[in-house]
Structure 1
Amino acid sequence: MTVTFSSLLAQTVLCWKSFQALSSLDAIQLLLSVPSAESIRESSAFYTSNPHFAGQGWDQAKWTQEKWKNFGVHDTQVISYNTELPAPTDQQRLALIRDSEVLYEAPLTDSVGGFFPAFYSFVTNANITAPYIFANFGSDEDYDDLVENGVDLVGNIAVLKSADASSYLKTLGLGKSREVQIRNAQERGLAGVIMYPDPQNDNPITESNGYAPYPDGPARPAKMIERGGIGPLDSYKSGLTPKIPCIPISYADAIPILSALNGYGPLASDLGSRWHGGELAIHDVHYNVGPSPPGLILNLKTEAYLHPGQVHNVVGKIPGFLSDEVVILGNHRDAWGPGAGDPNSGSAALNEVVRSFGAAVRRGWKPYRTIIFASWDGEEIGQLGSFSWIQEHFKWLNVTVVAYLNVVVAGAGRNFHVKASPLLYKTALNAMTYVQSPNQTVVGQSVLDVWNNTGTGAIGTAGGGDAIRFQGLLCASTVDFGFSQGLEDSVFPYHSGLDDFNWMTKYGDPNWEYHLTSVRLWLAMAAHLSESLILDMHATDYAEALGKWINDLFKDQKGSEFCDPKALHDAVSRFAQVAQRFDRSAASLEVQRQGCSPHLRRAIDETNQAYIQLERAFYHESGLDSRPSFHHVLFEAAPWHTEKPALPGLRRSLESGNWTNAENWRDIIVSKVLKAANLLEGLDR
């Protein structure tokens, strides 16, 4: 293991930083005392004031740069990258037609002021006219039910309920990404897809339960449209995105289309419990599945093209005593609409994090490790900004990045969510001991009770926003966290033109207290990682997580008769034994930290480098089957609001019965786990 001159010099000069004008403890206390609701509110008002889809953010990038410099982070740059950006034309169309008469034409917009109309990025362009069916959430089970009830699928357009970003649907096990919904339709021979957000997603905050729609109340606005991506640019260019046209609409647009099916085909309520729960009955929708009768058709036209453009990242740096160990904090600015919740609650929080660190720097503090702040552009269309920056600096980042800490949604509800690499479980949990939850109402509650029972078992698999690229390209340890809609909260107008400043001030986070809490958690995590002499990472947490994932995957002996998991269990057992010894060794160095001997300094440096490189052991050059650019074998690209189980290559092979591929992925994972064990064992003392 190479020990750099800069790290040895830094640790020699430090003698644990006793000469600093501001101690580490004082710095953390100062960091947590700086954030203010008014400052966050100012940033939110600016970011939501005009369109800033990918490539539209130059003015916001320059404003952010100037803010950060004024806060005291003088090494801040706007870094732009040439790319291709999707944009819809004004020729898109969705019309309900009977015998050549247009009964209804969807406006395909829910906002004013230059924001994009309804579209999915990297959509297939087409102009089709066809009969249609209602297919619930478009799952395999839904299509099986339709076929069993005599409903022909091939050549029809499917009208589907969206299943993304709904906390209620997650509790029912019905959550599903839009890309999967569209791909399922394509595989079943459907000609196109129309997706609308049924108020069922929002139970109990619905009109049928007496709640008025926004802006008069907390329920879903009838004209709200959930835009989104159906894959990144690299997948689109590789031909891996769905090939049938699709478009998002509001439930106001869905009402005339679904009510025109009344009386045609089976009722959804007769097809099983999974089909129950639609909330448009109060608008005279019976939820018949169709198909539409002769003469009743839909004309669906999608038209969006790639255009040359640029994405504009803002990157700031506070140099540390160590230049070869780096902690990165990031959020993306680009949004489908005003973006008050997603992502600019995170953007406003990041500004406040930068302001807090700037205040500490002005007081004479210098971090032990270098800290980088990043405001990314282009996340909503496949993390183009972070992808380009990581590619440019890959060699340096690969050996220096300790962790990437991401926030997409800092405050859009009261439900705390956190997704992390197992190496950062303790980082997330320790931050909660520094920061009081806004939900704390009972004196003496334990930390885990206050934070939604967030023990390590409740932390989701890593992913979220630009953390996807740090995982997929670098295999860096990441965490994404924040506050989003809970079951009793106002409906979050996700990816719509109504996720605006007014909604945030009225319903999302009126007192900005959840934004503030996210800021303080972010500060605590960053300070913990940047200031710990020995990184507070635990290889045993990784071993325990791996064991749990494998046990869950093969529970009830599922698939084990075709793909023997013994080699996996053996590899994890060896890794666990090595990890325990290594963590004990790291803890013993912490006890000895008051000395400044060359041997101790070298041992500390080697230990930290091993923790940094441990995640890299899971890098697989060929990537995942469905996404070759994602190289981490344990995770996959998952947005902040979606939980995707670990071990994706092996899991999907087992689920599809592809035993040869399952054995291949089993062997790949075994080799990576043993590589991780060898990495630690080579340094085991």
Structure 2
Amino acid sequence: MRLAAIPALPALILPLMLLAPSGTGASRGPRPASAASDTSALLGFSSEAAARQRTLETRFDSLLDPAQLRAWLKRMSSEPNQLGSPHGKVNAMFVDSLFRAWGFQTRIDEYQVLFPTPKQRVLEMVAPTRFQASLREPPVKGDATSSVYAHRLPPYNAYSADGDVTSELVYVNQGIPRDYEALARMGIDVKGKIVIARYGGSWRGIKPKVAAEHGAIGCILYSDPLDDGYHEGETWPDGPFRPPEGVQRGSVMDMPLYPGDPLTPGVGATADAKRLSPEEAPTIMKIPVLPVSYADAKPLLAALAGPVAPEGWRGGLPITYHVGPGPAKVHLKLAFDWKLATAYDVVGMLPGSERPDEWVLRGNHRDGWVFGAEDPLSGQVALLEEAKAVGALARTGWRPRRTIVYLSWDGEEPALLGSTEWVEDHAAELEKKAVLYINSDSNGRGFLGVGGSGTLVRFVNQVAREVTDPETGVSVAARALARRDVEGRGDDEASGSGGESERLPLSPLGSGSDYSPFLQHLGIASLNLGYGGESRGGIYHSAYDSFDWYLRYGDPSFAYGVTLARTAGRLTLRMADAQVLPLSLTPFAKDVARYADQVMALADSTRKATARRNERVASDAYRLAHDPSETYVAPDSQAGVPYLDFSPLQNAVAALNQSAAAYDRALAAASRDGGAPSEAVRARLNTILGGLEQSMTRKDGLPRRPWFRHQIYAPGFYTGYGVKTLPGVREAIEQRSWDEATEQIRILAGTLRQVAAGMDRAREALSAS
């Protein structure tokens, strides 16, 4: 198909900005990224400053070398580098030495965090036959590091409880709430049982959490070949997908309550911090949990009887999937060393020349579960190359207006430990100084994926239109938009900012990487980006996430590593150098209006669904619709859904959109007048705009999880990573807590009025020019 080039954005043109000329709309086909960049202004820059910035970025691009990324990746992934490992510390010192050599003011901040590691792992089937799970990832031919066992953690789930349990086994599909509803219809209760769940459908920590809520005494997690094994393609080393013995490690800490060190919620885990005991920490899982390979899971699943699993529950193993319970009976025994480990966060600062107390922060974590070539070191080496180029620019005499802070995090994999403790430790300073946090994680071949604060959508699009995709020659925005067009668009709670077909949307952020403490705890505007979609595989969190795998299937030429450095580097440099912070208010206000429409529709659909359910219960329709020879337990009726008063939210959303539009009009008028605001006006405007995201937070946080303060974006209580927009209201409706929903509508309306007031102050500051 023929793609249209993305037209010049209908940007909020600051008084300092060159208006994009007419005639920059859709062309007859794809164009190189540079073609678009020649005709558009830069958000937040005067025309003269924009020209200087483009020259700087061209120099920046010339300094990026894919060979350097390859060399760093090979070195840093040569040994296990998890939190607390010897090579993890070596890598921290290596990054520190690089930052220092490139001219950054460098330090390593240390935190003492709880990181349990396994002392004993036993999984065996004791009936109807005996089977001992290997719980081991063997060496693979062609994967040099797969035979390295020194300092390597075996497959396990961090923050599982200790336990020694024996019981019948029940297969619970993905182990999320709706699966337990289906089990209840089958008359199956997991109380006192051990459950086995396949990965997928939610973040892994939700699965044992929900199992424990239903009375299970143990949980086994496994990767089904339907999802990332031989069903998808050849397995490693013949292909990129998960081999039979590959295991997905990972944390099962209850991070929807709070991430970071379980023992020091809300404060940095310094050596002298006051700590909870592990027994007091609410985020530590209450039952034993263990991940296994599909080679180890197969005998367990094959030994189950009971009802045949529903069609959507059946995986790719050559067995008939049954639910149980039993006759398979398993023994699970786990014991952990509940010790503190030192997390080493490497910080490199380049002070700003004009506004040193405004910080642009750029981070990527450094720790893996084993060798971590893809996750996270593919993103880490891109950050290093980016920092190297920024340092080289600084040595020529250039200085950013704002301070740039590069951050190499430790301890992300267990629970966002390094970033969360650093943010909590420096919270007061960050609330005063941070204007943007830019995060990346793993990286590979393919399409730009980006999520973040809705006020940044036009800023991101302008950068994405000016970075060239290395395989197609069009802009990374054009390629991502083409994929979105072909695959279709959604309008659910996770769909992104944008609202225009020619604009790449920003996905709202839930959790799962190091942006979470910045955005959802402190209210610092944040972005999360990376490339992928064409480097699919099944080595996630296994010992086979190695340099050899990445060199064959990840990003063999490291072209997309350089592309990530170009993209994140431009975002960092432009935010650091912009004369006025390049935020866009109208797209954000429209997003909030859409989210509000969604929660109102959710309340309405829940009311109608409840009425239909109750009618069917009353008429005995559920029982009559099922085979009487099979066990079926009809659902109970539910209390009716009241009509919630959404008028406070509707009025606040209307005011928010009016304030955003008024700010836009003031910008347009100032541009027409041709006057440039004074430095004092710019400083006032930047202070107001920089605090807008913080005005979206509430110190008391969300119900039952005060650590999460952002009222627009949060990870779901039962999704883990997945986002919930307007979370206080949305989750109250989902949990049928109607009094809470009413209270959260009131709270959200007050928050939105607070944000609108900030927009009004920005308009007034602009008018003062």
- Specify which of 303, 307, 322 is matched with residue 266 of structure 1: 307
Q: 1:388 to 1:141 in 2, by over 3 A?
A: closer
After TM superposition, the structure 1 = structure 2 runs for residues 27-38 of structure 1, keeping only pairs within 5 Å, are: 27-38=56-67
Please state whether the residue corresponding to 1:614 is helix, strand or coil.
Answer: coil
Whole-Å separation in 2 of the counterparts to 1:228 and 1:500: 17
Whole-Å separation in 1 of the counterparts to 2:425 and 2:192: 45
Whole-Å separation in 2 of the counterparts to 1:107 and 1:444: 42
TM-score (norm 2): 0.78
Q: 1:386 to 1:150 in 2, by over 3 A?
A: closer
Other-structure match for 2:345: 313
After TM superposition, the structure 1 = structure 2 runs for residues 86-235 of structure 1, keeping only pairs within 5 Å, are: 86-89=116-119, 91-98=120-127, 102-109=130-137, 112-113=148-149, 114-163=151-200, 175-202=201-228, 207-208=230-231, 211-231=233-253, 232=259, 233-234=261-262
Q: 1:683 to 1:304 in 2, by over 3 A?
A: same
Other-structure match for 2:652: 571
Asked if 2 retains the 8 angstrom alpha-carbon contact of 1:439 and 1:450, the reply is no
Cα deviation digits, residues 367-413 of structure 1 (max 9, x gap): 111111000111122222222222232222112111000001122x4
Other-structure match for 1:632: 710
Other-structure match for 1:172: none
- Specify which of 581, 593, 600 is matched with residue 662 of structure 2: 581
Cα deviation digits, residues 63-96 of structure 1 (max 9, x gap): 00111222x233111221233322221x111111
- Specify which of 376, 383, 394 is matched with residue 361 of structure 1: 394
Q: 1:17 to 1:564 in 2, by over 3 A?
A: closer
Q: 1:659 to 1:55 in 2, by over 3 A?
A: same
Q: 1:587 to 1:33 in 2, by over 3 A?
A: farther
Other-structure match for 1:480: 528
Structure 1 residue runs without a partner (length 5+)? 1-14, 164-174
- Specify which of 333, 350, 354 is matched with residue 301 of structure 1: 333
- Specify which of 383, 388, 400 is matched with residue 433 of structure 2: 400
Q: 1:334 to 1:527 in 2, by over 3 A?
A: same
> Which 10-residue stretch deviates more, 420-429 or 108-117?
108-117
Whole-Å separation in 2 of the counterparts to 1:305 and 1:566: 53
Whole-Å separation in 2 of the counterparts to 1:59 and 1:140: 43
Q: Indicate yes or no: 2:678 matched with 1:600.
A: yes
Other-structure match for 1:67: 98
Q: Tell me which amino acid in the other structure corresponds to 1:274.
A: G
Q: 1:445 to 1:119 in 2, by over 3 A?
A: closer
Q: Indicate yes or no: 2:507 matched with 1:460.
A: yes
Deviation of 1:592 (Å) = 7.3
- Specify which of 642, 645, 650 is matched with residue 729 of structure 2: 650
- Specify which of 596, 611, 617 is matched with residue 695 of structure 2: 617
Asked if 2 retains the 8 angstrom alpha-carbon contact of 1:485 and 1:491, the reply is no
Asked if 2 retains the 8 angstrom alpha-carbon contact of 1:432 and 1:521, the reply is yes
Other-structure match for 1:5: none
Deviation of 1:55 (Å) = 2.9
Cα deviation digits, residues 190-209 of structure 1 (max 9, x gap): 2211010112213xxx5356
Whole-Å separation in 1 of the counterparts to 2:697 and 2:377: 32
Q: Indicate yes or no: 2:86 matched with 1:53.
A: no
Asked if 1 retains the 8 angstrom alpha-carbon contact of 2:359 and 2:435, the reply is yes
Deviation of 1:604 (Å) = 1.3
Whole-Å separation in 1 of the counterparts to 2:164 and 2:674: 69
Whole-Å separation in 2 of the counterparts to 1:49 and 1:638: 36
Q: 1:144 to 1:391 in 2, by over 3 A?
A: closer
Other-structure match for 1:323: 356
Q: Indicate yes or no: 2:84 matched with 1:84.
A: no
Q: 1:496 to 1:584 in 2, by over 3 A?
A: farther
Whole-Å separation in 1 of the counterparts to 2:644 and 2:196: 38
Other-structure match for 2:297: 254
Whole-Å separation in 1 of the counterparts to 2:403 and 2:525: 16
Q: 1:355 to 1:452 in 2, by over 3 A?
A: farther
Q: 1:326 to 1:523 in 2, by over 3 A?
A: same
Matched residues, number: 635
Other-structure match for 1:548: 594
Whole-Å separation in 1 of the counterparts to 2:63 and 2:483: 23
Whole-Å separation in 1 of the counterparts to 2:220 and 2:710: 33
Whole-Å separation in 1 of the counterparts to 2:397 and 2:524: 30
Other-structure match for 2:286: 243
Q: Tell me which amino acid in the other structure corresponds to 1:416.
A: L
After TM superposition, the structure 1 = structure 2 runs for residues 323-402 of structure 1, keeping only pairs within 5 Å, are: 323-402=356-435
Whole-Å separation in 1 of the counterparts to 2:530 and 2:538: 14
Whole-Å separation in 1 of the counterparts to 2:387 and 2:167: 53
Q: 1:590 to 1:83 in 2, by over 3 A?
A: farther
Deviation of 1:440 (Å) = 2.9
Q: Indicate yes or no: 2:569 matched with 1:523.
A: yes
Other-structure match for 2:274: none
Q: Indicate yes or no: 2:543 matched with 1:497.
A: yes
Please state whether the residue corresponding to 1:335 is helix, strand or coil.
Answer: coil
Q: 1:154 to 1:439 in 2, by over 3 A?
A: farther
Cα deviation digits, residues 233-252 of structure 1 (max 9, x gap): 33775414441211111111
Q: 1:182 to 1:301 in 2, by over 3 A?
A: same
Q: Tell me which amino acid in the other structure corresponds to 2:481.
A: D
Whole-Å separation in 1 of the counterparts to 2:317 and 2:524: 45
Q: 1:395 to 1:208 in 2, by over 3 A?
A: closer
Please state whether the residue corresponding to 1:497 is helix, strand or coil.
Answer: coil
Other-structure match for 1:289: 323
Asked if 2 retains the 8 angstrom alpha-carbon contact of 1:419 and 1:464, the reply is no
Deviation of 1:142 (Å) = 2.2
TM-score (norm 1): 0.87
> Which 10-residue stretch deviates more, 646-655 or 624-633?
624-633
Please state whether the residue corresponding to 1:662 is helix, strand or coil.
Answer: helix
**In percent, how many aligned pairs have the same letter?**
28
Deviation of 1:665 (Å) = 1.4
Cα deviation digits, residues 624-654 of structure 1 (max 9, x gap): 2343222112222489994323122221110
Deviation of 1:42 (Å) = 1.3
Whole-Å separation in 1 of the counterparts to 2:664 and 2:78: 49
Cα deviation digits, residues 439-496 of structure 1 (max 9, x gap): 536799946535755872542112441100101331100000112345xx43141111
Q: Tell me which amino acid in the other structure corresponds to 2:240.
A: P
